[in-house]
Amino acid sequence: DDYGPVIIDLPQAVDAAANNNAKWMLERDINNMRDYYGLYAPQLLTTNYAGEIWALYEAGELTPDTELTGEFIADDSAADVDSVLEQIKAAFAEEEERRARVAADQDD
């Protein structure tokens, strides 16, 4: 269109939520387009539409009306694995307590 290239959608042959390679495929395709069009519009070469689109998709915020900027800085901070494991353990313990209550109610 008059404002530049338009990204149509995630690869249609891939269920992005269930395919471990979906992010890689999307990045490859978008970056290939960026690199090609960057030959004619060098300012595109510094953009990161792929990262921006994937982050919006993962957050559930990607819509047909989303206006992309091409600006994206990846979060390279280390994951707090211990905190995640504690939350999983707490959820597991809560579920065990719930099941014990249900079993006790059925015995009464």
pLDDT digits (tens, 9 = 90+) for 44-65: 999 999 999 999 999 999 988 8
- 11-33 average pLDDT score: 83
Considering the entire predicted model, what is its pTM?
0.63
- 63-92 average pLDDT score: 92
What is the band of 75 on the pLDDT scale with cuts at 50, 70, 90? confident
Whether 83 has a pLDDT exceeding 70, the answer reads yes
- On whether the CB atoms of residues 47 and 70 are closer than 8 A, the answer is yes
Whether 9 has a pLDDT exceeding 80, the answer reads no
- On whether the CB atoms of residues 48 and 70 are closer than 8 A, the answer is yes
Q: Where are the domains of the chain?
A: 1-76, 78-108
Task: Give the whole-angstrom CA distance, residue 71 versus residue 39.
Answer: 19
CA 68 to chain centre: 15
- 67-86 average pLDDT score: 91
19: Cβ contacts below 8 Å, ≥ 6 apart:
25
- On whether the CB atoms of residues 14 and 25 are closer than 8 A, the answer is yes
Whether 81 has a pLDDT exceeding 60, the answer reads yes
How does DSSP assign 53-107, residue by residue? HHHHHHTT---TTPPP-S------PPP-HHHHHHHHHHHHHHHHHHHHHHHHHHH
pLDDT digits (tens, 9 = 90+) for 26-45: 899 899 999 999 999 999 99
